[in-house]
């Protein structure tokens, strides 16, 4: 069995229209959300052996703040293929990983991460956590999937079950949706 963590970047800032999408930083709510989620990830430790992340600014800032809050900085592999990747590309990246990494956390973007969950976790009506993801995988959400595989190269659709899902608003109501904006 392998363990896959999925961590979506925190809320980004859209105020500077001159910035490329890749260069958008976090906004104040995103910075707070990243720190809150960093503590949660640490306190619900899986013992992540590898972090694979998009090098986009909002992802690098999310990880920086989450690691600072958690007091831990694991080694991170920055992979540009994760930036705005679809599920098929994310699966390809995961299939390349060495088997000594029994647990990997991937940090990136939607809709790719959300679609990755949909592809790996069967829609068989038995997963209330998958149902929540179907509503939306919001910024800074964190999920854990158990994969019924022994080798990353064997990753395939329908091989997982989602065992943990936390959104920032689950930990701090101030980090929930703001419908006034």
What's this model's pTM, rounded to 2 decimal places?
0.94
Q: What is the distance between the alpha carbons of residues 158 and 138, in angstroms, rounded to a whole number? A: 22
DSSP state of 144: E
> CA geometry: angle at 68 spanning 62 and 72, to 5°?
110
In DSSP notation, 30-73 reads HHHHHHHHHHHHHHT----SEEEE--SHHHHHHHHHHHHHHT--
Residue 60 maps to a domain: yes
In a domain, 181, yes or no: no
Domain membership of residue 115 as a residue range? 2-12+24-175
Residue with tokens 């809150």: 36
Output the domain CATH number for residue 125.
3.40.50.1240
Per-residue pLDDT, 180: 37
Q: Which helix (H) or strand (E) holds 132?
A: helix 128-135
The residues that bridge with 52 in the sheet, in sequence order, are 77, 106
CA atoms within 13 A on the CB side of 65: 23
The answer to whether residue 110 is domain-embedded is yes
Asked if residue 18 is part of any domain, the answer here is no
Give pLDDT, residue 43.
92
Within a domain: 152? yes
pLDDT at 178: 60
Q: For residue 97, is it within any domain?
A: yes
Predicted pLDDT of residue 147? 98
- How many domains is the chain built from? 1
Q: What is the pLDDT along the chain (181 residues), one digit of tens a residue?
A: 999 999 999 999 988 888 999 999 999 999 999 999 999 999 987 778 899 999 999 999 999 999 999 998 888 999 999 999 999 999 999 999 999 999 999 999 999 999 999 999 999 988 999 999 999 999 999 999 999 999 999 999 999 999 999 999 999 988 887 643 3
Q: What is the pLDDT of residues 97-137, one digit of tens each?
A: 999 999 999 999 999 999 999 999 999 988 999 999 999 99
Identify any residues that bridge with 144 across adjacent strands, giving them in sequence order. Answer: 5, 164
Residue at 136 is within a domain: yes
Q: How many CB atoms lie within 10 A of CB 118?
A: 17
Q: Which residue has the tokens 């989602």?
A: 162
Residue 142 within any structural domain of the chain: yes
Q: Quick one: pLDDT at residue 181?
A: 36
Average pLDDT, the chain: 94
């Amino acid at each position: 069995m392998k363990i896959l963590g999925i961590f979506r970047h925190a809320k980004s800032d859209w105020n500077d229209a001159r910035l490329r999408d890749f260069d958008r930083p976090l906004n104040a709510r995103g910075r707070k959300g990243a720190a809150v989620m960093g503590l949660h990830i640490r306190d619900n430790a899986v013992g992540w052996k590898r972090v694979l992340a998009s090098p986009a600014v909002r992802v690098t800032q999310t990880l920086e703040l989450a690691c600072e809050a958690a007091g831990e900085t694991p080694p991170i592999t920055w992979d540009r293929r994760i930036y705005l990747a679809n599920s098929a590309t994310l699966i390809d990246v995961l299939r390349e990983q060495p088997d000594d990494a029994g647990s990997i956390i991937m940090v990136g973007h939607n809709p790719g991460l959300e679609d990755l969950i949909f592809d790996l976790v069967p829609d068989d009506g038995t997963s209330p956590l998958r149902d929540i993801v179907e509503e939306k995988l919001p910024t800074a959400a964190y999920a854990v999937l158990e994969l019924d595989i022994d080798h990353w190269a064997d990753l395939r659709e329908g091989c997982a079950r989602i065992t943990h899902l936390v959104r920032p608003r689950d930990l701090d109501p101030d980090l929930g949706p703001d419908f006034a904006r």
